[in-house]
Amino acid sequence: MKGKQNNIDRRNFLKTMGAAGLGSVLAGCKGKEEEQPDTAEPVAEIEPEQTEFPHVPQRILGKTGIKIPCLALGTMFNLIDNQIILRSTLKYGVNYWDTSNNYAGGNSELGIGKYLERSPEVRKELFLVSKASRARTVAEVEERLQLSLERMKTDYIDLYYAPHGASDPAQFTDELKQWAESAKKRKLIRFFGFSTHSNMAQCLTAAAKLGWIDALMTSYNFRLMQDPQMQAAIDACHEANIGIIAMKTTGKTTISRFRLALETAADKKLIEHLLQRGFAQEQATIKLVLGDERISCACVGMESVAVLTANVAAVLDKTELTQTDREIFKQYAEATCSGYCAGCAEICNAALADLPYVSDIMRYLMYYNSYGDKDRARELFAQIPARVRNKLLSTDYSTAEARCPQHLPIGELVAEAVGKLA
Ligand code: SF4
């Protein structure tokens, strides 16, 4: 009965959407007869209520006990003139909106505020998440929170991250813990955590021992899945019942994909394999992450309704990835590792004591080359202190390159970043 219901969901979804192009995502169900899925237990998901539009499945967010959609809207873009994406998410039960006080120079939060001003009744349906970007003190965290509340026209934020982009467990201070407790008592936030895309394993391992982190957002994708330290850190957080949200799920490279695609046989192999299986690559990477039962949700930047509907279709599709699918992604990760910065900043920072910005620069170049988000990449690059930027081209990166586990050509990429972002 359940399988029948799911088939009906997919059929109705296509019918409702009239969505050309989604066939490549949903056609994945054809592969089910060709190969048996993994023997692992399927991930426990909560079947959504039936509505006119099918809603994405929900999962529990760790110790919060809150049901959230397994797909969240990442909003690193201007929402003031893109209200349609907010409205569209709600049709599919994607009621988890992730923003930050610095996304699109504040225009992400202001866009949410514009929406909630017009439709205040929507607020109670939402799980709203924001972050204290570039806050160095608890006083700055408080300032950022107050600004976010004001911009978004809301009295509270469901989950608040500070730091935004944690890179060192030393940032999880007692003072921050007291602030988080105070913000909860004042009913300004419901839950507290942090986001991280540098030194993730260290930050997660430390968080698991703290006892006052409700949920966190970390980079996690088919590449990082191969890292035993990352696996152990996610295990520790899962055992501590911390809700885990995955971001950067597509595993985009710092080096432009076009350049890699022409160079690696693994890339062609992956593309051909996914084509045969009927999966679009980005949607397959989301399914791969959500196949990990420790992950509550994949937070994905979705600036257009077309991308949203493709991703919704992917998470609604019940075709499970097979062991062969996973193995091919693993081979692809290995073959293209020299194009991907894994965020292990402590390694290159130790070799470049005066220049602890390499992993940030690699990420900004990824935004430029793989996301096509040139303005954001330049804006972030401009925030690197001038004394560091002035030294970038005259620095010797050979020691950092020798230690880099991904074998990134760091010097070459830094030079490319300076040329494109400065
Ligand atoms: S450049 Fe290399 S060592 Fe530095 S964070 Fe990236 S992958 Fe790790």
**DSSP string for 343-388:** --HHHHHHH-TT-TTHHHHHHHHHHHHTS--HHHHHHHHHTS-HHH
Report the nearest-CA residue for atom 7 of ligand 1: 341
Ligand 1 near 26 CB (within 6 A): no
In a domain, 28, yes or no: no
| Amino acid symbol at 73 | L
| Amino acid symbol at 405 | P
311 and 399, same domain (yes or no)? no
The CB-side HSE value for 144 (13 A sphere, CA atoms) comes to: 25
| Amino acid symbol at 81 | D
Confidence of residue 9 (pLDDT cuts 50, 70, 90): very low
170 and 250, same domain (yes or no)? yes
Report the nearest-CA residue for atom 6 of ligand 1: 341
In a domain, 359, yes or no: yes
Domain of 373 in residue numbering reads as 341-421
Range of lowest pLDDT (61-70, 117-126, 159-168, 371-380): 371-380
Task: Report the alpha-carbon distance of residue 72 to residue 301 in Å, rounded.
Answer: 8
Range of lowest pLDDT (38-42, 147-151, 173-177, 284-288): 38-42
Q: Pairing between strand 71-74 and 96-98?
A: parallel
346 and 317, same domain (yes or no)? no
Q: Say how many residues make up the chain.
A: 422
| Residue among 286, 263, 252 nearest 372 (CA) | 252
Provide the β-strand partners of residue 284. Answer: none
315 and 392, same domain (yes or no)? no
Report the nearest-CA residue for atom 2 of ligand 1: 404
279 and 355, same domain (yes or no)? no
Q: What is the pLDDT of residue 355?
A: 87
Confidence of residue 254 (pLDDT cuts 50, 70, 90): confident
310 and 360, same domain (yes or no)? no
H or E segment to which residue 243 belongs: strand 243-247
Residues with Cβ < 8 Å from 7, sequence gap 6 or more?
A: none
Share of the chain above pLDDT 70, in %: 86
51 and 150, same domain (yes or no)? yes
In a domain, 6, yes or no: no
Q: 211: alpha, beta or left, given left = phi > 0 and alpha = psi -120 to 50?
A: left
123 and 211, same domain (yes or no)? yes
User: Where does 65-211 show beta strands of DSSP type E?
Assistant: 67-69, 71-74, 96-98, 127-131, 157-164, 189-196
Ligand 1 near 159 CB (within 6 A): no
Q: Report how many domains make up the chain.
A: 2
Classified as helix, coil or strand, 19 is: coil
Q: Pairing between strand 58-60 and 67-69?
A: antiparallel
The mean predicted confidence, pLDDT, of the chain is 88
Q: Pairing between strand 71-74 and 297-301?
A: parallel
Is-contact 153 113, C-beta < 8 A? yes
CATH number for the domain that contains residue 218: 3.20.20.100
Is-contact 129 158, C-beta < 8 A? yes
pTM: 0.86
306 and 403, same domain (yes or no)? no
Burial of 63 (C-beta count, 10 Å sphere; 0-12/13-18/19+):
middle
Q: For a ligand 1 pocket test, name from 196, 349, 410 the mutation site with the most ligand atoms within 8 angstroms of its C-beta.
A: 410
CA of 336 to the centre of ligand 1 (A): 14
Q: Residue 57 to residues 138, 279, 355: CA-CA distances in angstroms?
A: 36, 19, 44
Ligand 1 near 260 CB (within 6 A): no
Question: Residue 210 pLDDT more than 90?
Answer: yes
Confidence of residue 138 (pLDDT cuts 50, 70, 90): very high
